[in-house]
Amino acid sequence: MPLQHLFLQITTAATDSLGGTSGVGGDSVSLFDLVLKGGIMMIPIFILSILGIYLIVERFLTLKKADRDPEDFMGQLRNFIKQGDIDNAKDICRDYDTPFSRMLEKGVDKLGKPLSNIEATIENVGKIEIYKLDRNLNILATIAGAAPMLGFLGTVTGMVRAFISIAQVEGSVSPKLLSAGIYEAMITTVAGLIVGIIAYVGHSFLTNKVEKIIHQMEYSSIEFIELLQEPR
């Protein structure tokens, strides 16, 4: 995972700078120990990382299924409607199973009623489908903002603890003790930024896919209404 990979790099750098030992006890700094040294704020950051990755994967798979080329679908639907084959028109909408096909299926159900009623039905169903596409993206945006803040908070509290420990040391302060306290405090900042960046990039990518699908829905609905206005 990217988080573990970066932690491993930090561990290597910290070990090299301290001569292969930690600043206090002289023991090698392992990846697990380094994460633990981040303090209690690593717990919510870790939870946000798991939640963020889950939302990115879940939304990506959902949007990938919804992002299908509507050209073939609209061509077949047009032929069935022109032939007056409403049952097959409904079946192809169900089989395609995308936001715009579900939206147009409701329009097909309303065939024979005034065009204004059909347009209102398509618009209402479209709003529901857009809500489904946007689901949980606001949570991902919250993670992108909250994770770095939690990281900074962990760093501040870690620095406070480090300086308290330094103040309690009699005589001169060891450079190793000072550097160890600082890099331990900075762990949460690194972790928070990594989680925040991943969530931010994922949110931007998924938002663009949602906008693309919404464009497909708008185009398909306009084409469907124009089809109903054509003379038969």
Task: Read off the tokens for 95.
Answer: 């089989």
The HSE-up count of residue 136 (CA atoms within 13 Å, CB side) is 15
What percent of the chain stands above pLDDT 70? 78
CA distance 99 to 200: 25
Mean pLDDT of 73-79: 86
User: 37-54: b or e for each residue (b if 16 or more CB lie within 10 Å)?
Assistant: bbbebbebbeebbebbbe
Residue 142 pLDDT exceeds 60: yes
pLDDT in tens, 108-117: 888 878 888 8
CA distance 119 to 112: 13
Its pTM stands at: 0.75
Residue of 18, 15, 39 lying closest to 191 (CA atoms): 39
The HSE-up count of residue 92 (CA atoms within 13 Å, CB side) is 17
Residue 9 pLDDT exceeds 60: no
Cα 26 to Cα 18, 19, 23, 73, 187, distances in angstroms: 9, 9, 6, 68, 19
The secondary structure element, H or E, covering residue 231 is: none
Greater model confidence, 160 or 36: 160
Task: With cut-offs at 50, 70 and 90, classify the pLDDT of residue 12.
Answer: very low
Task: With cut-offs at 50, 70 and 90, classify the pLDDT of residue 193.
Answer: very high
Task: Read off the tokens for 102.
Answer: 């579900």
The HSE-up count of residue 110 (CA atoms within 13 Å, CB side) is 20
**DSSP state for residue 171 in the 8-state scheme:** S
